[in-house]
Amino acid sequence: MEISRAIKAFHGAGCDFLGDTLQNAGPQKGKWATNALPGYSWHNWGYAVDCFVVKDGAFVQRGDDPLYELYASEAISLGLTAGYYFSHQDSGHVQMYSEEVPEKYTSQEINDAMKKQFGDA
């Protein structure tokens, strides 16, 4: 239902590329990955990365190791934003900007940039 509303809102705002992209993705199965709509994550822009810690060949759950805090503090020292400090902690996430995509760009700007970057949906 949320997806249907988002598709309708995108089309209603003249953001057809975003609406078509979301519609064409269709139902998804598997582990949760994001709540971000197409174009609304800095990952889509190439301005965010997710990393993780491996010790003794095993993945260390996010936030369960002091190396995540070190990673975050190093990111901050470089002028980046670290998900370790988000209200909903995302320990392995680092992004270029402190604000979210829709705080920096309008829906139409997001639509146009994603269409230019990824082509027709």
For 81-99, what is each residue's pLDDT tens digit? 999 999 989 999 999 999 9
Task: Identify the band that residue 28 occupies on the pLDDT scale cut at 50, 70 and 90.
Answer: confident
Give Cα separations from 3 to 28, 38, 111 (angstroms). 11, 11, 17
Q: What proportion of the chain, given as a percentage, has pLDDT over 90?
A: 76
CA distance 8 to 93: 30
* Residue extents of the structural domains in the chain: 1-26+106-121, 41-99
Instruction: Give 86's Cβ-side CA count (13 Å radius).
Output: 19
